[in-house]
Amino acid sequence: MAYEVISTRLPFVYEALPTRVIFGSGMRASVHDEASRLNMKRILVLHGPPHVEIADVIASQLGDRYAGTFSGARMHTPVAVTEEALLLVAQLQVDGLVAIGGGSTTGLAKALALRIDLPQIILPTTYAGSEMTPILGETMDGLKTTIRNAKVLPETVIYDIDLTLDLPAGLSGVSGMNAVAHAVEALYATNANPVISALALQSIRSLVRALPAIHVDPSNRGARADALYGAWLAGICLGSVGMALHHKLCHTLGGTFDLPHAETHAIVLPHALAYNAPAIPDVIAALADALGVDNVPVALQDVNRKIGAPRGLRELGMPEDGISRAVELALANPYQNPRPLTREGLHQLIARAYNGDLPADVR
């Protein structure tokens, strides 16, 4: 029998991300030690509406290192909000940031770090994974731009499972599928490597098992731990290798039709993977093996059903004539993808995602 190479896709380059990670239950209590380790003396705490109380607790834990609070973070990191926070940073002579929240709050911390290079401690409360990436998306005058800069990488990330317990079941599911999408696309990135692929498969296994269990019982600590672990690994994947059709399409759909981030990712993923499947038989085989299923896109759509995700983009309020518009936008802005983009193929993909149909048959 021929020898099967495990470390496929040779040669490869692997670069480790430098962020220090603390993972466990109750780990938010380590925020003071981390602030001290990073020599932060005047800390601004960033948070969103659901985290007023926990932000107060953390502020008191920080003691005389606490300088103030900013709670104005918004989805897609509007530059106007960043500028407002920058004024406060200057006024309070802030020298460090602690952010508690999802991708939107993390985005604000990263936007501030980009401009004034402040050290960041991030306490994620969703599964978006932004805290692990040197990527920042910002919006100005309705236009979203994405940059990659090592300055935005947080110094410390504290994954405290307890902070995810009150993430509502519906949001937990779609946020987790957003993470699954990072890991899936990492498997066929042009700069894929065996280390990241191993993390990606483990991430997908953890999330696909944990998310339906969280939907049944959001207080299931074991499932919450597995989902957060999977989300961390997915964030490493997103931050380490390039993404393709799925992410670019969600970016276009979200930006053009103002669709919610995580829900859009959850709906599109099975269809984008089915589109790419003929060009990536090795990836499909690895995923089928990892998940113990025959048809991977259908299995992922089945997870969507179990977590109660919206069925199609129509349910998110996308107009039907948006299908053709999205096709043209995707074709006008070509990018790296394992299977070349065709007008007909893209139209079918987006129409299926719009209607909530089964993904194209990939067997």
Distance from C-alpha of 247 to C-alpha of 335, rounded to nearest angstrom: 11
Stretch that binds ligand NAD, among 165-173, 195-203, 325-333, 334-342 (CB under 6 A): 165-173
Q: According to CB under 6 A, which one of 69, 120, 156, 175 is a site residue for ligand NAD?
A: 175
**Please, which residues bridge with residue 164 across strands?**
none
Closest residue by Cα to residue 322 from 274, 275, 264: 264
Residue 195 as a binder of ligand NAD (CB under 6 A): the answer is no
Measured from the CB atom, the residue of 129 and 154 that comes closer to ligand NAD is 129
**Residue 308: CA count within 13 A, CB half-sphere:** 9
Amino acid at residue number 156: T
Residue 173 as a binder of ligand NAD (CB under 6 A): the answer is no
Measured from the CB atom, the residue of 89 and 243 that comes closer to ligand NAD is 243
Residue 103 as a binder of ligand NAD (CB under 6 A): the answer is yes
**Residues 171, 48: contact at Cβ < 8 Å?**
no
Residue 120 as a binder of ligand NAD (CB under 6 A): the answer is no
Measured from the CB atom, the residue of 163 and 277 that comes closer to ligand NAD is 163
- Nearest approach in angstroms of CB 65 to ligand NAD is 24
Distance from C-alpha of 323 to C-alpha of 215, rounded to nearest angstrom: 30
**Residues 35, 27: contact at Cβ < 8 Å?**
no
Q: Helix (H, G, I), strand (E, B), or coil: what is residue 200?
A: helix
Run of H or E residues at 247: helix 245-257
Residue 310 as a binder of ligand NAD (CB under 6 A): the answer is no
Measured from the CB atom, the residue of 187 and 277 that comes closer to ligand NAD is 187
Closest residue by Cα to residue 300 from 246, 252, 340: 246
Stretch that binds ligand NAD, among 79-87, 98-106, 196-204, 300-308 (CB under 6 A): 98-106
- Nearest approach in angstroms of CB 292 to ligand NAD is 28
**DSSP per residue, 54-66:** HHHHHHHHHGGGE
- Nearest approach in angstroms of CB 152 to ligand NAD is 8
Amino acid at residue number 241: V
Q: According to CB under 6 A, which one of 102, 270, 310, 359 is a site residue for ligand NAD?
A: 102
Q: According to CB under 6 A, which one of 136, 192, 196, 201 is a site residue for ligand NAD?
A: 136
**Residues 283, 188: contact at Cβ < 8 Å?**
yes
Residue 154 as a binder of ligand NAD (CB under 6 A): the answer is no
Nearest residue to ligand NAD on Cβ basis: 103
Sort residue 358 into left (φ over 0), alpha (ψ -120 to 50) or beta.
beta
Q: Which of residues 214-253 bind ligand NAD (CB under 6 A)?
A: 238
Residue 297 as a binder of ligand NAD (CB under 6 A): the answer is no
Closest residue by Cα to residue 164 from 234, 107, 222, 246: 222
Residue 142 as a binder of ligand NAD (CB under 6 A): the answer is no
By CB under 6 A, how many residues form the interface with ligand NAD? 29
**Residues 39, 218: contact at Cβ < 8 Å?**
no
The pairing of strands 43-47 and 96-101 is: parallel
Q: What would the two tokens of residue 327 be?
A: 């096709």
Stretch that binds ligand NAD, among 64-72, 99-107, 240-248, 324-332 (CB under 6 A): 99-107
Q: According to CB under 6 A, which one of 11, 49, 142, 340 is a site residue for ligand NAD?
A: 49
- Could you list the residues that contact ligand NAD (CB under 6 A)? 48-50, 75-76, 101-105, 107, 125-126, 128-130, 133, 135-137, 163-164, 166-167, 171, 175, 238, 261-262
